[in-house]
Structures are given as structure tokens and as C-alpha cells.
Amino acid sequence: MKINDWIRENTYHHSAFADLKTLVEQKKTSGLTISLCIPTLNEEKTIGKEVVIFKSEMMKRYPILDEIAVVDSGSADRTLEVASSFGADTYLSAEILPGEGSKTGKGENLWKAIYQLKGDIIVYIDADIKNIHPRFVYGLIGPLIFRPEVSYVKAFYDRPLTFSDSIRPSGGGRVTEILTRPLFSVFFPELTAIIQPLSGEYAVRRSVLETISFPVGYGVETSHLIDVYQKHGMKTFAQTDLDQRVHRNQETRDLGKMSFGIIQTFLRRLRRHGIINSEGDYPTVLRQFQAHDDLYETIEWNIPEYERPPMITIPEYRKARNLSPN
């Protein structure tokens, strides 16, 4: 399928699913259950509002979500206390599947949520969204409920960046436009149809999530797109315009760390799918610089992009889901 044809047939605006009564009826007809996962680390300032809005509008008023869960990386603030006080189920990532050990990173939370949560569909929403709204859920699950052939729905939006109390408009994400989209253009041209490949908001059928591996760090969104594309092609994707997402700005140095993790993930998949031939492990140390007057200091960050295997290969998961042993 040509890219423009795919975009025309698989790109939505959230308003297409804003009739929540119809969405509830269609969900009942489909027999689907839906879980919301919010991965967190020190998000006490925004997590309460997210839980309140989703619980009041998407569970009580319109019974679309069956479960709202916060999976936390070990916050030092009151994130879990606040989330629990407003009615979310709260979990420490390190306490889920303890036999598998604990890793640091958002991808770890997303992976462990597959085991902990019950839904046929899992919706992932970041915890730092300042303009949170029910559209962040119904805009993503709409294509999954109405189109059984769709399994993975990504969000896209305008991304104004916050600086103190002011906001300036921005185009797409900086890492997307400088790194990910150029790499997709060279190696996976069809994936350039995904407008915001690194967005942290997406909804996925369990049957797909449980079959793919999860980098625990920065590469998780990139890996998902490549792996799902290689298994199922573009026909399984859709994307929804959520208008605008207001969030914290990241420093350029932090974007460098993100890019380094994504590159490791990308190269690993090029090798895995036979696109490039190479042996051995890729370097995991990123070097950056900072200046002190006339002196320049090298800073080294060790950023290994560890990956979790497909959840369906984990014995505890297979037992919990009543699947036959491997």
C-alpha cells in the first residue's frame, strides 16, 4: 500500500470517537476488556488529575475502561500515594514478576503491565501530560473497537514545549525529526507514515503485545513499530490525532541519551532482520562534554539498552493466562 493511501485510510481525529455512548455499546458487543496503564516515576504533580479524569469520565460515567493502573519505577515522591487516593490500582514495577528481576526504565513498566493487567487491550498513557483529557483514551481505543483488523494505534499531536510559565509552539518531536524519521526513511519507508513514532500514548491488543520484546529504556517505542511491522505489516496500524499534548521540555543532553538508546535498538533490529550483517555487541557508552571556563570535561553515560523477551515466553505469564507450557 502506498504511504498516502495508508494515511488516508488509517488516520483519525479523536472526534470520530467522541460519541462515548456508541463506543460503550460497541465495546459491549465486541466483548473486549480494556486496561489503562500509566507508567510513572516522580509524577505527583500530574498523576492525580489524570486518574481523576479517566476514572470519572471513562469508568464511572462511561464504562469504557475496566481497569486503571499506575506502574511505578520507584518514585521518591508521593506519586503512588496520590494515585491510590484517587482510585487507581498502584504497583511497584520491581514487585511484579519478582523472579524475573528488576530493571530501570519506562519499558520495564510497560512490559510488566502485560502480566499485571487483565485487559484484552492495554492503553499506555504517559503521566506528565498537563492538558490531560478523555480523548487520550477514547481516541486511541476507537479504531481497535470498530476495526478488528487493527491491533496497534499510535497517538500524534502538536507538541508545544513548556518553558517556565510560557509555551511556544513546536513541530514534531525533535528526536523523531532528527533521528527516527530519517532512519525509517532509509530502512523502513512505510513506517514514515506514522506521524509521531515516539509518542508515549498508544493502545495495543494483548495478542500483539505479548509476542514482542521490550527494551526497558528509550528504544521501546521504536522497537514496537519495527517488530510489529515485520510481523504484521502496515495493515495492523492506525493513528489518531489528539490535537495537542503539553508536557515538560527536555534538555538537549537528555535528548542525546534518548537518541543513543534508540540507535542501539534500531541497529539490533537491522541485524535481527538480516538488513545488516555485524557481529558482537554495540558500545553502550555515550560521551558528552561540559565546559568549566577554559576546561572541557568529558562525561560518560553507560546506557545499555537491555531488552525483555516476549511476555508469552515467561512461564508465570503462561500459567496466569491458562496457556499451555512451552
Cβ count near 211 (within 10 Å): 15
Is 51 in contact with 14 (CB distance < 8 Å)? no
DSSP annotation string for 128-139: --TT--THHHHH
Per-residue pLDDT of the chain (326 residues; tens, 9 = 90+): 689 999 999 999 999 999 999 999 999 999 999 999 999 999 999 999 999 999 999 999 999 999 999 999 999 999 999 999 999 999 999 999 999 999 989 999 999 999 999 999 999 999 999 999 999 999 999 999 999 999 999 999 986 554 444 544 434 578 999 999 999 999 999 999 999 999 999 999 999 999 999 999 999 999 999 999 999 999 999 999 999 887 566 778 888 999 999 999 999 999 988 888 877 777 888 888 777 777 778 888 888 889 999 999 999 999 999 998 87
- What confidence score (pLDDT) does residue 46 get? 94
Give the separation between CA 255 and CA 61, rounded to whole angstroms: 39
Distances (CA, A) of 199 to 176, 180, 249: 9, 12, 14
- What confidence score (pLDDT) does residue 168 get? 41
* Backbone φ, ψ for residue 232 (5° rounding): -125, -15
Distances (CA, A) of 173 to 135, 210, 263: 20, 28, 16
- What confidence score (pLDDT) does residue 164 get? 43
Q: Enter the DSSP assignment of 293.
A: T
Longest dimension (CA), the chain: 68
Specify the residue for cell string 505489516: 233
Paired residues of 286 in beta bridges: 301
The structural domains of the chain, ordered by start, are: 3-176+188-250+309-320 (3.90.550.10)
- What confidence score (pLDDT) does residue 163 get? 43
Is 79 in contact with 40 (CB distance < 8 Å)? yes
Grid cell for residue 23: 463506543
- What confidence score (pLDDT) does residue 251 get? 79
Find all residues with CB under 8 Å of 312, minimum gap 6, and list them: 210, 211, 318, 323
Q: Give the distance from CA 90 to its chain's centroid.
A: 18
Find all residues with CB under 8 Å of 155, minimum gap 6, and list them: 136, 139, 140, 196, 199, 201, 202, 239, 240, 242, 245
Specify the residue for cell string 476514572: 55
Q: Enter the DSSP assignment of 236.
A: G
- What confidence score (pLDDT) does residue 282 get? 79
- What confidence score (pLDDT) does residue 1 get? 65
